[in-house]
Amino acid sequence: MSINTSMLWADIVQIREKAPLIHNITNFVVMNNTANALLALGGSPIMAHAVEEVADMVKICNALVVNIGTLSSHWITAMEKAIDAAAQANIPIVLDPVGAGATSYRTNTVHSLMSIAAPSIIRGNASEIKACVTEEAKTKGVDSLDSSESAIEAARQLHATYGCTVVISGETDFIVSGGEPIQIKNGHVMMTKVTGLGCTATALCGAFAAVNSQLEMAAAHAMAVMGIAGEMATEQANGPGTLQLHFLDALYNLSAEAIEKRLSAA
Amino acid sequence: MSINTSMLWADIVQIREKAPLIHNITNFVVMNNTANALLALGGSPIMAHAVEEVADMVKICNALVVNIGTLSSHWITAMEKAIDAAAQANIPIVLDPVGAGATSYRTNTVHSLMSIAAPSIIRGNASEIKACVTEEAKTKGVDSLDSSESAIEAARQLHATYGCTVVISGETDFIVSGGEPIQIKNGHVMMTKVTGLGCTATALCGAFAAVNSQLEMAAAHAMAVMGIAGEMATEQANGPGTLQLHFLDALYNLSAEAIEKRLSAA
Amino acid sequence: MSINTSMLWADIVQIREKAPLIHNITNFVVMNNTANALLALGGSPIMAHAVEEVADMVKICNALVVNIGTLSSHWITAMEKAIDAAAQANIPIVLDPVGAGATSYRTNTVHSLMSIAAPSIIRGNASEIKACVTEEAKTKGVDSLDSSESAIEAARQLHATYGCTVVISGETDFIVSGGEPIQIKNGHVMMTKVTGLGCTATALCGAFAAVNSQLEMAAAHAMAVMGIAGEMATEQANGPGTLQLHFLDALYNLSAEAIEKRLSAA
């Protein structure tokens, strides 16, 4: 499959019109950025993690995003409840296995969360995606030790087991589902110097999944938007500080023209 | 009652001179922004939520701000202790019922917190203010489903029950106390695309309440400053990303002249 | 001892080349800024606080940074485990006693953490450093009540007891170890209006300690970089909002020339 401007733009229009409610159980580092990115794109973010309310919150939402970046036992319980509720209500579940492979606690948590219900989309760097398949994979903190391409086989296994779409983030992003992976070549290396843009990508996968039930397309659209907005932002930025603000502005100001001009997918 | 530049400016001067200490028990999404907004205005923020210290911390502070945006049971216990300590020490209590109406857990928590001690000021959007009165009110995540005006009756009931000032945020802000509501018409729609500016408004209510015991005026001054700084920031911004930084700069650079020129209250 | 551009620059080059992994157990207010500052400088931040994983995480890291800004009992347990693991693995431990002196809970926690293992570097404002020595010291929330100079005697006592380097932040920063304190006079007063720049300074101490085992030098280099980047940022900023973004850009764009031109140490 491949992606094109008009299909991508149609999703953005829907997000802006419907303002889908995205329930995020995510990490402390990126909550603010994640919420702002979802708002700038046109979505409506909600952060909630109390075990007493996550199931109720999921039911009024259009997608659930679970991110284990700063996990602890109480939060894992909330993630389990939310995933279970989302599966029952047929709401897309997007999983970000931040730092899987860095500690066995993280790796085990990811495996345990996937056993509650199959995720709809998993997004991570190559090391994290590999750690979703085997506990032997290693990660340097939250940074990948490997090229995106090296994780395609692991992504195929995840797809075979869970039926999910898998996004491997990197210089080239690979969106792996049944067929040939979609490749997105947008983005800029300076984006790796801003914390949490991977987490933002995961949240945007949730926003697109909320309006597009073809999850491979939803994920590809999210990654294309990340890369394109990142390129636009980098052109305005003097460094990673100003980049992150221009990135939000770029999401807010996205146009079909800008997408048409920059989209680099295969 | 109505507000004017000289009274508002007098409060700002006091905040800048005294740097009142504002104790925030608030949500993970906005802690950084809240702290920065209080600093930019001239206040001194402290965030503390451990049950072991909140009562001690409240006692050295000039206002307590409680915000339930990412609540959980441990935090609710801390909020209860802090509210109790603030009431005993006669320190103003400002409550932000984020997402009340979205889940019964949030709605019940708000009602429970108000039963510990009457808040001095409550600030929320129309849906949240309604949910403070009746458990039937519904909220779309943290977004209002209703116009500000529709919550005036609920605000009057809250005032009648608790003696508090109620701020209903929206395109027009209504400050409801005993008499005719004060209306503030400052602000810009792009502010709704920045997460946590409502929470910032609540924190600024705390800063003004710390220097002005006339709480209706304190709340109106806070909302006017929010709207005016938001307008100044929007004129500099290319989108919600740059808006949030220019907003902090605008708070820091506020002058009596800028307020005089822009204040739109009735 | 004194510091000079070439030694400072050599550390920065090492940080950029090795991207040392810095494990932060820090507060909710500053996590995002801290991560971004470490990335902009060239380091690789990881935030993790689960008692189940902190010991594992420490072992793959090059420095541990512990900051008590928004502490609670579960987090203290994690800090204790991490400090113990770091001491066993001979990894530098940097401690930020945020708000020590404001409540006895904070003061006691700092004393308790230091009893697990001696910190390598302690960084705080004058009030906080005094509170590390005596429970009589008072702090206004997280703001110092005293000049940096007034805490030199307390810093010397900490050095005598723990063998650690102590940084007293203020208009002039004092780096206290065995001999004459190093003084850094860089920086700008507007930096005090941005939340968490003190916490950022602590994290940068961790990054420099990860590449320079001479801890007095590492701490002095970190504080010089903070001040120099702060000056560069202030020249670009219209207030504390834009300052914080330009600060990250300045860290990212640091050059030996800029350091040579601005370094003001004795």
Nearest-by-CA chain A residue for C21: A141
Given an 8 Å threshold on Cβ–Cβ distance, is B252 in contact with C193?
Answer: yes
Residue from B18, B27, B47 to probe the interface with C (highest C Cβ count within 10 Å): B47
Q: Which pLDDT value is given to residue A1?
A: 66
Q: Is C49 on the interface with B (CB under 8 A)?
A: no
Interface check for B33 against chain A (CB to CB < 8 A): the answer is yes
pLDDT at C136 over 80: no
Per-residue pLDDT tens for C27-61? 999 999 999 999 999 999 999 999 999 999 999 99
Chain C CB within 8 Å of residue B235 CB? no
Share of chain A above pLDDT 90, in %: 92
Q: Is residue B212 within 8 Å of B218, Cβ to Cβ?
A: yes
pLDDT higher than 80, residue C145:
no
pLDDT digits (tens, 9 = 90+) for C215-266: 999 999 999 999 999 999 999 999 999 999 999 999 999 999 999 999 988 7
B partners (3+ CB pairs within 8 A) are: A, C
With an 8 Å Cβ cutoff, are A102 and C46 in contact? Answer: yes
- pLDDT mean over A244-264: 97
Please answer yes or no on whether C32 and A32 come within 8 Å at the CB atom: yes
What value does the mean pLDDT take over residues B67-96?
A: 98
The token duo for B70 is 């990412």
Q: Does pLDDT of C171 surpass 80?
A: yes
CB of A150 within 8 A of CB of A172? no
Question: Measured between CB atoms, does B153 come within 8 Å of chain C?
Answer: no
Nearest C-alpha of chain A: how many angstroms from C27? 9
A66 to chain C, closest Cα gap in Å: 16
At A136 the pLDDT is 76
What pLDDT score was predicted for residue C143?
78
Using CA atoms, how far residue C222 sits from C9, C79, C218, in Å, is: 11, 23, 6
Q: Which residues contact B262 (CB under 8 A, 6 or more apart)?
A: B186, B228, B231, B232
pLDDT at A265 over 90: no
Residue B18 vs residues B15, B204, B226, C190: alpha-carbon distances, Å: 5, 15, 20, 17
pLDDT tens string A24-49:
999 999 999 999 999 999 999 999 99
Q: CA C126, CA C133: separation in Å to the nearest integer?
A: 11
Chain B residues with beta carbon closer than 8 angstroms to that of A251 = 239
| Mean pLDDT along residues B207-233 | 98
CA distances from C78 to C29, C55, C61 (A): 18, 9, 16
To the nearest whole Å, the CA of B245 is away from the closest chain C CA by: 4
Residue B9 has pLDDT above 90, yes or no: yes
* Predicted interface score ipTM higher than 0.85: yes
Q: Is the pLDDT of residue B1 over 90?
A: no
Q: What distance in Å separates the CA atoms of residue B251 and residue C208, rounded to the nearest whole number?
A: 35
Structure confidence at residue B77 (pLDDT) = 98
| Banded pLDDT at C8 (limits 50, 70, 90) | very high
At residue C1, the pLDDT reads 66
A193 touches chain B (CB under 8 A): no
Distance from CA of B119 to the nearest CA of C (A): 23
Cβ of A32 under 8 Å from any chain C Cβ? yes
Mean per-residue pLDDT, C125-154: 87
* Cβ contacts of B105 on chain A, cutoff 8 Å: 50, 52-53, 56
| pLDDT value of position C141 | 78
Closest chain C residue to the Cα of B55, Cα to Cα: C103
What pairing do the DSSP bridges indicate for beta strands A63-67 and A93-96?
A: parallel
Q: Are A116 and A87 in contact (CB under 8 A)?
A: yes
Closest Cα of chain B to A84: distance in Å?
17
How high is the mean pLDDT of chain B?
A: 96
pLDDT at C134 exceeding the cut of 90: no
Give the pLDDT band (50/70/90) at residue B40: very high
Percent of chain C with pLDDT over 70: 100
Report the pLDDT value the prediction gives residue C265, as an integer from 0 to 100: 82
**Is the separation of the CB atoms in B8 and B229 below 8 Å?**
no
Quote the CA–CA distance of B57 and B256 in Å, as a whole number: 33
pLDDT score of A266: 78
Closest alpha carbon to C31 in C75, C86, C92: C75
pTM for the model: 0.97
What is the percentage of chain B residues whose pLDDT exceeds 70?
A: 100
Encode pLDDT of B113-130 as tens digits.
Answer: 999 999 999 999 999 999
Instruction: Provide the pLDDT for residue A18.
Output: 98
For the residues A110-122, what does the mean pLDDT come to? 98
Q: How many residues does chain C have?
A: 266
